[in-house]
Amino acid sequence: MLLILRLLEAPEGSFADLAGFNPGAVRSVEIHGGRAHLFHPAPKTAAVMLELDPLAVGAELSSPRYGGYAAGGILATAFGLLLTAPGGDDQPRAVEARLPVLWCPAGEAVLTRLFGPLGYAVDAARLPLDPERPEGGKSAFFSVRLTGRQSLADVVSHLRVLLPLFDDRPREVGGREAAELWDGGRAWLETHPERELIAWRLLGRTPGQGLHDRRHDAVLAALRESGARRVLDLGCGRGTLLHRLADDASFDEVVGVEVARDELAQAAARLAPGGRGRVLHGSLVYRDRRLAGFDAAALVEVIEHLDPPRLAALEDAVWAAARPETVVVTTPNVEYNTLFPDGARLRHPDHRFEWTRAEFRAWAEGVAARHGYAVRFGAAGPEDERVGPVTQMAVFERRSPAAPAGALPPTDAGIRLEDVAGERTIATRLGGAVHVVADEAAAALEEMSRFAVDPRWLVHLSPTLPAAVNAAGEGALEHPRAALAYYRERGVEEVALQELDAGTRVTVVVCRDAEAARNRFGAMEGETGAVYSEGGRPFFATRAAEEAFMARVRAALEAGGLWDEPATGWVALEGVIGPGVPVMREVNPRLGPPPAVYFAVAAAARGALEAAEAELARAVAAGVDASALLARTQRRAALVAPFAAACRRAFGSTRTPEQLRLAPVRLLASEGAVHADRDPRWHRDRLAPACRAAPHTLRDLAEVVIDLTDAAAEADATAWWVAALARGDAGIVVHPLQSGRDGDSVPLAPTLQCRGDDALRLVHGPEHVLPEQRERLRGRGIGEDAGRAAREWALSVEALERFVRGEPVARVHECVFAALALKLGGRA
């Protein structure tokens, strides 16, 4: 992060004299996650620069603000600490403030709205995502220049308050730091025309009486009309409606239910202690006995956040299980979107769909008929005579005390929340009793509820691949010698090395035909399988794309004789889809950060570090003692180009579904048998014929066996790894060829991975190769992560075994849910 402030007119002497500092020195202070520096590149110029360690601040590469390259709240704090106006100096002067990198997705207009009323002229240039590929578009980062007549005290105040607005999320509602910033700028905030916008971004206040409030007015009116006294706010979010319900004397008890724990905490903070309102952590796709017995429930802008196949589970949990007398549902009317200036197809990036009035009516009438309700329709907010209301509303009123028999197919009979949530211990064949703590289960509940495929298909989760972390001071972060040592020390004599494809790890469940899919999985029309990530998220964005891929895999398995030996109507495979990371509309964008995020990190790093390097070079030339800081900055700047090159290689090759290939690693299961924990050579022998028969669909992974008792094992493994990296592979994986246990009960990790620097750049960021960061990334070594992966593996194999035995879907889902809980707990 960098901020450069220049006085275009000033009294005699230097900027440092005006601020009371030594112009030849660098002034530094410790801040959270790094250090901030003030230096003077020229007499009338001051620069504030941050050196942040992303590991120390807990940053993730999934955020475009990763690495502390773009200006924001931390820079504002450093600016306030390092540069203050001398007492009594409130003389306006011509000033220039430059921010080489500022994250502003809303564009230049917002900058003008915020800084223009304060007397600044705004000059903003949008940074390209990748200068070498202009066709890739421009980023959400700007290089910003502000000029105007301001006192030094006012410049500090304006930037201290406004820069935090450009962080990638609002400040904590009611947070002390945000309140202090507001108080510090109160003198000019009170008259700022964007006061409400600033308050909302800084303090979490909702501006004005807008659509949000009008929608809630309509819902409140419907709930009051129903005569309800005990009300559920299902999917209550941050609690805006919940707060209004709890303050309304029409209701005796109000309960908000939300799966996102951070939003639930904010909702709880809005409620008066001892009042009518309370909150529950829960999910709307699981049956929850805590929700029974209420008079009414509201689902306000909730259903569109679910993938359409999960609406059956929502329907079961609310209308079949909880069965309140009245249910009020609102959702956007997609027809109204044509009236918006940008003609938005979807109003929010997390919306999975938005319905026309006819589509919403058909769904609501179907729900009502299946569960003994009557339904009427209305509007929430303004209406247009041509396209209808901006928000459509349905009010369901119960007409029968119980749901009609057979309201939903037996396979859709809801899974109870108590079957999966909370602390629990699960017996497994491979790993004995596997324990899951409540916090891990809570994280899994959110992930399963918001992103996962239908539980009927979710019979296995690929376990986390622990890194073969090299010993401290040994150079490469990951290395085969660490993997070999892990298995050798636990009694394994042979391992298989396999190339690591740089694609997406998936489970593929494929049925031989539609009849097998219906009979074994209770599949709906048009479903013959599923492809999902190691976190349970669907790989494909559309059913058509998934079924087209299923047809290719089915044909490949047929050509390889896999349907006949063993004879089966379905198989489950574990593998990697690639090559590289697919970039196409047919692939689920929620599998991980989009490619633009990685290129944005490169753009921000490039802009910030090049500017910092130039200003430090000016300072050193002017006699400032900043040589060490300049050398560190040059070293960091040199790492941006390799990171950008890694992004191009990872995201540039796969553009159409026809290019996708599955590299199968394991034949997990088929009807009547689980194969997951067999010797890797068995899997290779079974899968190789299909790979040879259909190389355009299945890719055979190169593999070699290493004898750990051989003195040359480490050298041979290292040479094979180096060759794999030279071919462009992400690295290698290491599988043990003998089973074993790590201690008394925990099985060995089924796989360890050894990635090269290119792959690791996309995990840890451009600066992970710096010695100080690399040593910290070594962290706790292999042991803890390997143990967790082994428990995930035991749970996933247990899920397969329960499914093959024909146990109920809830029993299978219990294991997969627990495996996901462990996986998410390991990321904490």
Q: Are strands 703-707 and 673-674 parallel, antiparallel or unpaired?
A: unpaired
In a domain, 206, yes or no: no
- The domain in which residue 578 lies consists of 502-584+654-700
Lowest mean pLDDT among 453-467, 576-590, 680-694: 576-590
Give yes or no for residue 151 having a pLDDT over 90: no
Strand partners, 510: 529, 571
561 contact partners, CB below 8 Å, separation of at least 6: 689, 690
The reply to whether 272 and 229 lie within a common domain is: yes
Interatomic CA distance for residues 826 and 233, integer angstroms: 32
Domain limit, last residue, from 765, 780, 795: 780
The reply to whether 398 and 294 lie within a common domain is: yes
* pTM, two decimal places: 0.88
Rg (CA), the chain: 29
In a domain, 574, yes or no: yes
In a domain, 425, yes or no: no
In a domain, 592, yes or no: no
Q: What is the enclosing helix (H) or strand (E) of 596?
A: helix 595-621
The reply to whether 116 and 162 lie within a common domain is: yes
The reply to whether 479 and 534 lie within a common domain is: no
What does the pLDDT read at residue 406? 53
> Residue 588, SS3?
coil
**Share of residues in the chain with pLDDT > 90 (%):** 57
In a domain, 647, yes or no: no
pLDDT (tens digit, 9 = 90+) per residue, 207-236?
A: 444 577 888 999 999 999 999 999 999 999
What does the pLDDT read at residue 20? 53
The reply to whether 12 and 92 lie within a common domain is: yes
Question: pLDDT band at 205, cuts 50/70/90?
Answer: low
The reply to whether 230 and 343 lie within a common domain is: yes
The reply to whether 563 and 630 lie within a common domain is: no
Q: Give burial (CB, 10 Å; 0-12/13-18/19+) of 275.
A: exposed
Mean pLDDT of 747-773: 89
> How many domains does the structure of the chain reveal?
5
Under a CB-based contact definition with an 8 Å cutoff, are residues 188 and 272 in contact?
Answer: no
The reply to whether 518 and 634 lie within a common domain is: no
pLDDT (tens digit, 9 = 90+) per residue, 591-636?
A: 888 888 888 889 999 999 999 999 999 999 999 999 999 999 999 9
CATH number, domain of 344, equals: 3.40.50.150
The reply to whether 761 and 815 lie within a common domain is: no
Lowest mean pLDDT among 44-48, 642-646, 665-669: 44-48
The reply to whether 757 and 800 lie within a common domain is: no
In a domain, 515, yes or no: yes
The reply to whether 353 and 255 lie within a common domain is: yes
In a domain, 175, yes or no: no
- The C-alpha angle with vertex 304 and arms to 169 and 546, in degrees rounded to 5, equals 100
CATH number, domain of 546, equals: 3.30.470.30
What does the pLDDT read at residue 751? 94
pLDDT (tens digit, 9 = 90+) per residue, 265-293?
A: 999 999 999 899 999 999 999 999 999 99
The reply to whether 351 and 327 lie within a common domain is: yes
In a domain, 238, yes or no: yes
Interatomic CA distance for residues 502 and 578, integer angstroms: 7
Interatomic CA distance for residues 616 and 633, integer angstroms: 9
Lowest mean pLDDT among 309-313, 354-358, 393-397, 556-560: 309-313
- Within 10 angstroms of residue 251's Cβ, the number of other Cβ atoms is 20
